[in-house]
Structure 1
Amino acid sequence: MRKTLVFAVASAAAVGSLFAFSAPAQAASGSCPKESSTGIGFCLYYNSGQAGAYYRWSGNTGGVSNLAGLVYPNNGAGAGQAVKNNSASASYTMGGGCVCSGEYVRVFYNSGYLGNYDTVTSNTDKALVKTYNQNASWSAYSNL
């Protein structure tokens, strides 16, 4: 029943965000696979060093204006915990493997893409510093 509830909350949040990201993958901790058809994946991790449970979005770039209601779905440390204000690191994967300065994600301190933020460039991992355990929204950007 709990898995169904977690999936329902995650699905509603993904649809409600009005962005073309799919629900999180149910996978082992410490690995953020990219979406096979688009080659794009963004993950927030419960622990530093891209470890522990993670929440993955895949598909076209977009964002989530409020992480409230999202829960880390997989088996690592932090599974079942809220994503909002509980993330220590992130990773952003783009197809093609380039580290493109014009493709990045910002993780924001406040909901609505406001406040201090950490920037995660394409195909990199990032320790959250300004938003460590104080993350409330994220948005993807492209200057290409």
Structure 2
Amino acid sequence: MSGVEVLVRQQDNEKVLLVYRLDGRAPTAQQCEDVGEDHGFYEPHAEAAHSFGAYAKAQLVREGFQGGLCDHAWKSWGHYGRNPFGQFSACSKCGVSAMTVHRKRSPQVSYLYDKWELREHVWRLWLQRGPVLGSLVELPHHQKGGAQ
């Protein structure tokens, strides 16, 4: 992610990320969430990092996920539709659904896990081990036009 830097620290036996922007502005909530997911967090939460001098507008990102995780066992993948079209499946252990959505004449693919749209590499990781159905919390920046 351009313009965003990350320092990884251990604090009280937990991984904490210090996220800051090179241009001196505070990173957005979406940037903090993306960085957290890239570092293996399921539900990254950001808070202002008050005591870091040179990193005055930095954000501390911690794992906020408290729910259960499932080592998924996917039922066979099915295909659907004409426009959009894609694949879908459900975990036989926890019931969470996963699907891909392709639009006709568009190179873009959406990767859905439960009701969440994820970036492909995060989606692929969560297909192996991910949150159980309904255990993630919706944040304001998840809504279109939400806080950035």
TM-score by length of 1: 0.26
Structure number with the higher helix fraction is 2
Q: Which has the larger radius of gyration?
A: 2
Report which structure shows greater RCO (CA 8 Å, sep ≥6).
Answer: 1
TM-score by length of 2: 0.25
